[in-house]
Amino acid sequence: MASLRSFLRSGKNAVSVVLRREFSKTSPAAVQVNVRDALNQAMDEELERDERVFLLGEEVAQYDGAYKVSRGLWKKYGDKRIIDTPITEMGFAGIAVGAAFAGLRPICEFMTWNFSMQAIDQVINSAAKTYYMSAGFQTVPIVFRGPNGSSAGVAAQHSQCFAAWYGHCPGLKVVSPWNSEDARGLLKAAIRDDNPGFISQ
């Protein structure tokens, strides 16, 4: 009780000391990682863990990805597992779906989800519906990945968000990570899943 009286008598000085007090001087428990690096780590770990996993898309290999998400992967895994494609979304999405039918685990990267509209037949009719239409016989372990939604300076053709639209398509698992931990964990889970996944960043 005496210490409380002393505290109350000291008035504003005691309050200002309490407000200035730092509660912890220890460093954070985990290293801060941005979403780009978290996605890169997830792909690297899964490429190393499973030789059936490969990445294809525009500029994912030699250029390290338009947004540098695949940085360093081409140098580590080579041309057979990190594949640059021409600007033909329907074509490389079809190749990825066919590879998934054959038992591989492709990560099909769109430079932006707006361009996935060019490949909509492959994403919806070939990937998303095949498991159901084959009565559960044919799995499609594929991940469609890329940036989605508005961003500064990318104008109308790069600013739409298709997550809700794709989320209404049966057979497709759609995730939109909130932070880097979610991005890493959800991408790893999607790569290991036998169903088509849509990862929006």
**pLDDT of the chain, 201 residues: tens digit per residue:** 566 556 556 655 555 554 555 544 555 556 789 999 999 999 999 999 999 999 999 999 999 998 899 999 999 999 999 999 999 999 999 999 999 999 999 999 999 888 899 999 999 999 999 999 999 999 999 999 988 877 766 777 777 888 888 989 999 999 988 899 999 999 999 999 999 987 776
Q: Can you point out the beta strands (E) in the chain?
A: 53-57, 82-84, 105-109, 143-146, 173-175, 197-200
Dihedrals phi, psi of 173, to nearest 5 degrees: -100, 120
Q: Work out the end-to-end distance of the chain between its first and last CA atoms, rounded to an integer number of angstroms.
A: 56
- Is-above-0.85 flag for pTM? no
Residue entry with tokens 């030789």: 51
Angle at the Cα of 98 from the Cα atoms of 57 and 124, rounded to 5 degrees:
80
